[in-house]
Amino acid sequence: MSQEATCNAAGSSIANETVGQVVDRGPLSLGRILTNRWFLHTVSIVAFFWLWDWLARSNVLGGGSSALARPYEVLDQLVVLAHEELAELTLWGHVWASTQRVVIGFSIAAVIAVPLGLFMALNRYVNAIVKPLFDLLKPMPPISWISISILWFGIGETSKVFIIVLGTFVPCLLNAYNGVRLVEPELYDVVRMLGGKRRDEILHVCFPASFPAIFAGLQISLSIAWTCVLAAELVSARSGLGYIIVQGMNLSQPAMVIGGMAVIAAAAWGTTLLVTALERKLCPWKRKIVGL
């Protein structure tokens, strides 16, 4: 406070305009612990696993082979899968198989759809040509393509990657397109007033302004990519996390099914973190959303 006062007196003109943040660090009390965020996180996680275990133990969802696996059984199963091979691959091999498909399909879609979306927003002729085709194909759920893609490409990698490309193409393109469309038009005026040309408007306003929207599209695409790869693997595959789930079902091993589900969630989460990290690196200006 006194620091600020001296600053003002010395004529430093903005000291009174900066916004400071004060973190209140009171003494620890029971009330503070009970309302602590991390404490509450722990409580809810422990409660979840306890409820799960209780449901499994009391056979609410049926007994025997259709029973809900207990948490430690799932963990056991995952340890076994990590060491022993299932269809010539350990758990890591299967994780890698699925991840590879996601990454390839997602990358192909992003590399084509994002520039195409930007072009559509920037050039009305490109827009007029691409938009009707896009609108025609957009409402079709990507999973509905599985059968035809197996007929076309067989049950190998190509058909799975094809499904992922189809599914992730739409949000990638739409977000890039809308990102450019929603740019504040006066920002273009700023560039023109500063002596910029059309090229500068695109380079210095269009692209950076649509970055956050593009990344939002990439995040949505990524979760769709995992849905697609799983669907494709459930239909036909000899590797991948979907294959583990199908095997668990065929062998009547709920622990294996749930284990596969958990690993998919973990893998999807991991790839999301990668994209988030990339976004942080490329858009340091984006305000962090607090609390989520």
Partner 1 sequence: MIECRNVSKTFIQKGKQEVPVLEDVSIDVQANEFVVILGPGQSGKSTLLRIIAGLETPTTGTVTLDGEPVTGPGADRGLVFQGYMLFPWKTVLGNVEMGPKLCGLPSNEVRDLAMHYIDLVGLSGFEKHYPHQLSGGMKQRVGIARAYANKPRVMLLDEPFGQLDAQTRIFMEQETERIWQTDKRTVIFVTNNTDEALFLADRIVAIEGKLPGRVQRTYTVDLPRPRDLTSGTGFTFPARPGSFGTGNGVSPEPR
In the complex, the residues that contact partner 1 under the rule CB under 8 A are: 12-14, 17-19, 184, 186-187, 189-196, 200, 204-205, 208-209, 211, 283-285, 287
Neighbours of 126 (CB within 10 A): 14
Contact call for residues 61 and 68 (beta carbons, < 8 A): yes
Q: Smallest distance from the beta carbon of 115 to partner 1, in angstroms?
A: 19
Q: Smallest distance from the beta carbon of 4 to partner 1, in angstroms?
A: 14
Residue placing its CB nearer to partner 1 in the complex, 37 or 287: 287
Q: Smallest distance from the beta carbon of 189 to partner 1, in angstroms?
A: 5
Residue placing its CB nearer to partner 1 in the complex, 118 or 256: 118
Which structure tokens are listed for 48?
Answer: 């979840």
Residue placing its CB nearer to partner 1 in the complex, 13 or 44: 13
Residue placing its CB nearer to partner 1 in the complex, 9 or 193: 193
Q: Smallest distance from the beta carbon of 203 to partner 1, in angstroms?
A: 10
Residues 6+ apart with CB under 8 A from 201: 188, 191, 192
Residue 144's alpha-carbon distances to 140, 258, 267, in angstroms, are 7, 25, 24
DSSP output for 32-89: HHHT-HHHHHHHHHHHHHHHHHHHHHTTTT-SGGGSPPPHHHHHHHHHHHHHS-BTTB
Contact call for residues 191 and 205 (beta carbons, < 8 A): yes
Residue placing its CB nearer to partner 1 in the complex, 30 or 194: 194
Residue placing its CB nearer to partner 1 in the complex, 126 or 187: 187
Q: Smallest distance from the beta carbon of 11 to partner 1, in angstroms?
A: 9
Contact call for residues 271 and 102 (beta carbons, < 8 A): yes
Q: Smallest distance from the beta carbon of 200 to partner 1, in angstroms?
A: 6
Largest CA distance in the chain: 80
